[in-house]
């Protein structure tokens, strides 16, 4: 299954990001804590070049906390400050401005030495759809200004938002990239809801999710779907059939697939992280 989604407003947004970079001091790059690498847009490195960047690992409440801590260290080893937050519940949000000042400490020192008056940090908030950008804006500003929605594609334009005297934010629409070179990335994004369900086959995504949980969190599948010992070792297709049957859906596997996908998205199988630091470090070593 190949998943592609690159609406016209995303192409336009990519151009606008490039044009607006000169107006900001720093970029806040939001990633989903459940997939900190797969939810990064690989085009950003080319777009942002040397622009200072703070990586915000959002939705940390949904992710495996051990993996989240590892990802913070991983990004720091790559030369970026990273901060785990949960914008929905305002956790970690107050640390954003102090951390941004830390990223910009050299610029702030240069401005002070030149006798320039301190001014608000101007930041661009960027990330793929459904990563929580609008929710973060509303938390920072303290009122509902940015439109939110638990689906991709809500934010279509750009807007400046002021956060006290310390920060001015430029919102941007979520930007995916034109083609997923790795089909697994598309499946990960689809499983977490970053791609519209109308563009995917839920049965493929359900099978991918069951495979993943069977590998990393097998006891959760057994507990959630009340599986017997001999059923826990079933391969994903047979497991999906068994879950569908146990839920009383007979042979309606589309309904069974929808159940599994939404159970995973809603955290009914617990906190999880699809991107594993160990696997990423192994890939890095192979490339080296």
Task: Give per-residue pLDDT as tens, 160-206.
Answer: 778 778 898 886 666 766 566 788 888 999 999 888 888 788 999 99
Compute the average pLDDT of residues 256-275. Answer: 95
Compute the average pLDDT of residues 218-236. Answer: 90
pLDDT in tens, 94-117: 999 999 999 999 999 999 999 998
Given a cut of 70, whether residue 33 has pLDDT beyond it is: yes
Q: What pLDDT, on the 0 to 100 scale, is given for residue 147?
A: 47
Given a cut of 80, whether residue 154 has pLDDT beyond it is: no
Compute the average pLDDT of residues 9-28. Answer: 79
- Max intra-chain CA distance, the chain: 74
Compute the average pLDDT of residues 215-220. Answer: 93
For residues 3 and 245, what is the distance between their CA atoms, to the nearest angstrom?
A: 29
Report the helix count and the strand count for the chain, using DSSP H and E. Answer: 12, 6
Per the CATH hierarchy, to which homologous superfamily does domain 15-171 belong? P-loop containing nucleotide triphosphate hydrolases (3.40.50.300)
Q: What pLDDT, on the 0 to 100 scale, is given for residue 285?
A: 59
In the β-sheet with 121-126, what is the strand arrangement from edge to edge?
A: 81-84, 53-58, 26-32, 121-126, 167-171, 159-163
Q: Domain 201-287 adopts which CATH fold?
A: Conserved Hypothetical Protein Ylqf; Chain: A; domain 2 (1.10.1580)
For residues 92 and 42, what is the distance between their CA atoms, to the nearest angstrom?
A: 26
Compute the average pLDDT of residues 234-242. Answer: 93
Q: What pLDDT, on the 0 to 100 scale, is given for residue 109?
A: 94
For residues 207 and 185, what is the distance between their CA atoms, to the nearest angstrom?
A: 15
Go through the chain and tell me how many residues it has: 288
Q: What pLDDT, on the 0 to 100 scale, is given for residue 144?
A: 59
Location of each CATH 1.10.1580.10 domain in the chain: 201-287
For residues 155 and 125, what is the distance between their CA atoms, to the nearest angstrom?
A: 12
pLDDT band at 155 (very low <50, low <70, confident <90, very high): very low
Q: What pLDDT, on the 0 to 100 scale, is given for residue 173?
A: 62
Classify residue 54 by its DSSP letter. Answer: E
pLDDT band at 245 (very low <50, low <70, confident <90, very high): very high
Location of each CATH 3.40.50.300 domain in the chain: 15-171
* Other beta carbons within 10 Å of 249: 16
Cα distances (Å, whole numbers) of residue 288 to 79, 276, 277, 281: 17, 19, 16, 10
């Amino acid at each position: 299954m190949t998943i592609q989604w690159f609406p016209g407003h995303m192409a336009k947004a990519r151009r606008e990001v490039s044009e607006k970079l000169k107006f900001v001091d720093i970029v806040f790059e939001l990633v989903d804590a459940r997939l900190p690498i797969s939810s990064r847009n690989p085009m950003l490195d080319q777009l942002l070049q040397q622009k200072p960047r703070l990586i915000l690992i959002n939705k940390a409440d949904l992710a495996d906390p051990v993996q989240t801590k590892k990802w913070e260290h991983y990004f720091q080893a790559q030369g970026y400050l990273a901060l785990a937050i949960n914008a929905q519940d305002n956790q970690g949000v107050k640390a954003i401005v102090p951390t941004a000042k830390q990223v910009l400490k050299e610029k702030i020192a240069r401005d002070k030495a030149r006798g320039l008056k301190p001014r608000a940090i101007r930041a661009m908030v960027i990330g793929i759809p459904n990563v929580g950008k609008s929710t973060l804006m509303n938390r920072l500003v303290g009122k509902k200004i940015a439109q939110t929605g638990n689906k991709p594609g809500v934010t279509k334009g750009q807007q400046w938002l002021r956060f006290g005297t310390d920060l001015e934010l430029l919102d941007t629409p979520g930007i995916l990239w034109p083609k997923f070179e790795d089909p697994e990335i598309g499946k990960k994004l689809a499983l977490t809801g970053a791609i519209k369900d109308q563009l995917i086959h839920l049965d493929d995504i359900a099978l991918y999710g069951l495979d993943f949980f069977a590998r990393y969190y097998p006891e959760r599948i057994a507990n959630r779907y009340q599986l017997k010992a001999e059923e826990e070792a079933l391969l994903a297709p047979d497991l999906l059939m068994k879950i569908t049957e146990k839920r009383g859906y007979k042979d309606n596997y589309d309904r069974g697939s929808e159940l599994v996908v939404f159970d995973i998205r809603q955290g009914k199988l617990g906190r999880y992280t699809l991107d594993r630091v160990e696997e990423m470090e192994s890939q890095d070593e192979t490339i080296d």
